[in-house]
């Protein structure tokens, strides 16, 4: 299917025709073909991006994305869309900055407006420990070629006027670390843009198709086929990108993963006029907030303490975050919250993702993004596609191998997270 | 918020408790005798099931004691709570790939 490109001309023409000429943006065949060269399990942003780069950069044509529900309906549609790359360790900074560089050209690459908005991500410091930790990040980031700068409280206030920097606050703002290249993007557009571009390159996107079994009849127990609710699909390469459900899918191949799945909640306020110009994150009081282009304040809460697949969390987690938000931004104290929801995030012991090969030949996995995977979507798909196509880890993905839990070469961002979960 | 029945204190709100992860994981008596893969499996691999899950809780703002529970991770409904050291109650295994 040839993709009809968006351009000023096509938009103007459709405006004059009452928008009667638009076609579906991607093909979604009702059922999969009998065989594919590669099958991606999971139609979120990461999975769709993987399929897109497999087709775009590695010339594979017979590719399917199997999605249990609808594309982008999992964590891609449930996160707070924050994008940044100022991670502490060189391996992480390389991975997330690879993604950030792809974000910067993504709308043009996909010919689809993903509304990437580098409005700046400000992390506020409230303690001596915060100051030392953030400044360590800033120095490490500078060595890694990632922008990140220190702001005084007055500079924080100038950058984000709603912020309360008075010394009478319960947790006074002592400064902040700002990544100006960071920001937000439109989550649905990311899924739809990748789906549209992948579909145009021949990728089959099969929705409402749950994988129920993994057959390993190839040499050395290699993957040979997937059992699905829409029939058997033969393939020698499977990429599992199933986020919170990864443990369940991998168990079908006989593998037990170093993952636990937790509910992570977010909420939005009633929409208001533009009041909040950037993204602010605070580790100490646990708050992160931005304003969507629709005008809603988008607020992220924490994970619940227990594992769950219920896609709903406890109310005290939300109120805890709102306490922090209204403490930092007193002007929001009378705002009403409109919706709250949960997603299921798969968390690794070192809070870094797993991208790469598995002990099962032909089976690849991209998981463990935990509470912060959206920002990595383009980079994750890009390096995972290369890993699947070549059968060996992409250099940026290599440190994030599954075997690190055995060798001990952890990438311990757990202690370095922007917000502790 | 969950309502959790501490085997020693009765029904209490979740905020009195700390979750303690998967239950019935026995530390290997001789770690040095294990291969790296076996030790890594003990440390890091978890069943993480969608369904009944045996897990530890600690009534940290109450009696302070650890106990075990079986909770359905799809509905968050508790099927049983029982003291540490007791066997997992019959009838709570279904759906858990233990």
Tell if the CB–CB gap between A307 and B53 is shorter than 8 Å.
yes
What is the topology classification, in CATH, of domain A34-85+87-112+186-258+350-417?
FAD/NAD(P)-binding domain (3.50.50)
Tell if the CB–CB gap between B44 and A258 is shorter than 8 Å.
yes
Numbered ranges of CATH 3.50.50.60 in chain A:
34-85+87-112+186-258+350-417
**CA A307 vs CA A143, B16, B89: distances in Å:** 37, 17, 20
Numbered ranges of CATH 3.30.9.10 in chain A:
121-181+260-347
Cα A111 to Cα A362: distance, rounded to the nearest angstrom: 32
- Which residue of A253, A306, A401 is the best one to mutate when testing the B interface, meaning the one whose CB has the most B CBs within 10 A? A306
Tell if the CB–CB gap between A349 and B43 is shorter than 8 Å.
yes
| pLDDT in the model for residue B92 | 81
Residues in chain B within 8 Å Cβ distance of A316: 1, 14-15
**CA A356 vs CA A117, A255, A364, A385, A395: distances in Å:** 30, 14, 6, 10, 11
From B18, B55, B76, residue closest to A310, measured CB to CB:
B76
Binned at pLDDT 50, 70 and 90, residue B95 comes out as low
Structural contact between residues A258 and B44, judged by C-beta atoms closer than 8 angstroms? yes
Side-chain-side CA neighbours of B4 within 13 Å: the count stands at 29
Helix axes A90-104, A377-390, angle to 10 degrees: 110
Query: In this complex, is the C-beta atom of A358 within 8 Å of any C-beta atom belonging to chain B?
Result: no
- Would you say residue B25 has pLDDT above 60? yes
Query: In this complex, is the C-beta atom of A359 within 8 Å of any C-beta atom belonging to chain B?
Result: no
pLDDT tens column, A196-241:
999 999 999 999 999 999 999 999 999 999 999 999 999 999 999 9
Tell if the CB–CB gap between A314 and B21 is shorter than 8 Å.
no
Nearest to A192 by CA among A45, A363, A310: A45
Mean pLDDT, range B79-84, rounded to an integer: 96
Q: What is the predicted ipTM?
A: 0.95
Structural contact between residues A145 and A139, judged by C-beta atoms closer than 8 angstroms? no
pTM for the complete prediction? 0.96
A-to-B residue pairs, Cβ atoms closer than 8 angstroms: 66
| Residues with Cβ within 8 Å of residue A132, at least 6 apart in sequence | none
Structural contact between residues A336 and A378, judged by C-beta atoms closer than 8 angstroms? no
Q: Running DSSP on this structure, what letter comes out for residue A50?
A: H
Residues in chain B within 8 Å Cβ distance of A248: 48-50
Multiple choice CATH, A121-181+260-347, 3.40.50.720, 3.40.640.10, 3.90.226.10, 3.30.9.10:
3.30.9.10
Query: In this complex, is the C-beta atom of A407 within 8 Å of any C-beta atom belonging to chain B?
Result: yes
pLDDT tens column, A140-191:
999 999 999 999 999 999 999 999 999 999 999 999 999 999 999 999 999 9
Cα A211 to Cα A365: distance, rounded to the nearest angstrom: 15
From B55, B73, B97, residue closest to A251, measured CB to CB:
B97
| pLDDT in the model for residue A417 | 58
User: From the DSSP assignment, how many helices (H) and strands (E) are in chain A?
Assistant: 11, 19
């Amino acid at each position: 299917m040839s993709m009809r490109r968006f351009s000023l001309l096509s938009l103007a023409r459709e405006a004059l025709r009452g928008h009667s000429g638009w076609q579906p943006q991607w093909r979604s065949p009702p059922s999969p073909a009998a065989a594919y060269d590669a099958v991606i399990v999971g139609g979120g942003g990461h999975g769709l991006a993987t399929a897109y780069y497999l087709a775009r950069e590695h010339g594979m044509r017979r590719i399917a994305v199997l999605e249990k529900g609808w594309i982008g309906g999992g964590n891609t549609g449930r996160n707070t869309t924050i994008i940044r790359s100022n991670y502490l360790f060189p391996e992480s900074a390389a991975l997330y900055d690879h993604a950030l560089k792809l974000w910067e050209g993504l709308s043009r690459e996909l010919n689809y407006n993903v509304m990437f908005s580098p409005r700046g991500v400000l992390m506020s410091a409230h303690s001596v420990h915060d100051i030392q930790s953030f400044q360590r990040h800033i120095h490490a980031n500078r060595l890694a070629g990632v922008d990140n700068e220190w702001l005084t409280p007055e500079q924080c206030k100038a950058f984000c006027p709603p912020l309360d920097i008075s010394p009478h606050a319960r947790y006074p703002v002592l400064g902040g670390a700002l990544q100006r290249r960071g920001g937000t993007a439109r989550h649905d557009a990311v899924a739809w843009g990748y789906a549209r571009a992948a579909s145009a390159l021949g990728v089959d996107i099969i929705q409402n198709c749950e994988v129920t079994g993994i057959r390993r009849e190839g040499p050395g127990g290699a993957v040979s086929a997937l059992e699905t609710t829409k029939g058997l699909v033969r393939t020698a390469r499977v990429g599992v990108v199933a986020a919170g459900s990864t443990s369940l899918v991998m168990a079908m191949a006989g593998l037990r993963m170093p993952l636990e799945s937790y509910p992570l909640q977010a909420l939005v306020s009633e929409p208001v006029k533009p009041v909040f110009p950037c993204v602010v994150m605070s580790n100490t009081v646990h708050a992160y907030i931005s304003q969507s282009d629709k005008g809603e304040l988008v607020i992220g809460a924490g994970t619940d303490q227990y594992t769950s697949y219920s896609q709903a969390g406890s109310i005290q987690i939300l109120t805890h975050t709102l306490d922090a938000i209204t403490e930092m931004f007193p002007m929001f104290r009378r705002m009403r919250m409109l919706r709250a929801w949960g997603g299921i995030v798969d968390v690794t012991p070192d809070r870094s993702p797993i991208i790469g090969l598995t002990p099962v030949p032909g089976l690849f996995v991209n998981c463990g993004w935990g509470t912060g995977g959206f920002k990595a979507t383009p980079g994750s798909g890009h390096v995972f596609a290369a890993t699947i196509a070549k059968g060996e880890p992409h250099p940026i993905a290599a440190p994030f191998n599954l075997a690190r839990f055995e060798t001990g070469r952890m990438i311990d961002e757990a202690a370095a997270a922007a917000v502790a979960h | 918020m969950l309502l959790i029945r501490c085997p020693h204190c009765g029904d209490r709100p979740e905020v009195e408790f700390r979750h303690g992860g998967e239950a019935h994981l026995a530390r290997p008596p001789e770690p040095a005798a294990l291969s790296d893969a076996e030790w890594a499996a003990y440390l890091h691999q978890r069943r993480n099931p969608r369904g009944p899950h045996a897990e530890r809780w600690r009534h940290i703002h109450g009696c302070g004691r650890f106990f075990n529970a079986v909770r359905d991770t799809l509905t968050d409904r508790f099927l049983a709570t029982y003291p540490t050291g007791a066997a997992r109650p019959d009838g709570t295994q279904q759906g858990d790939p233990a």
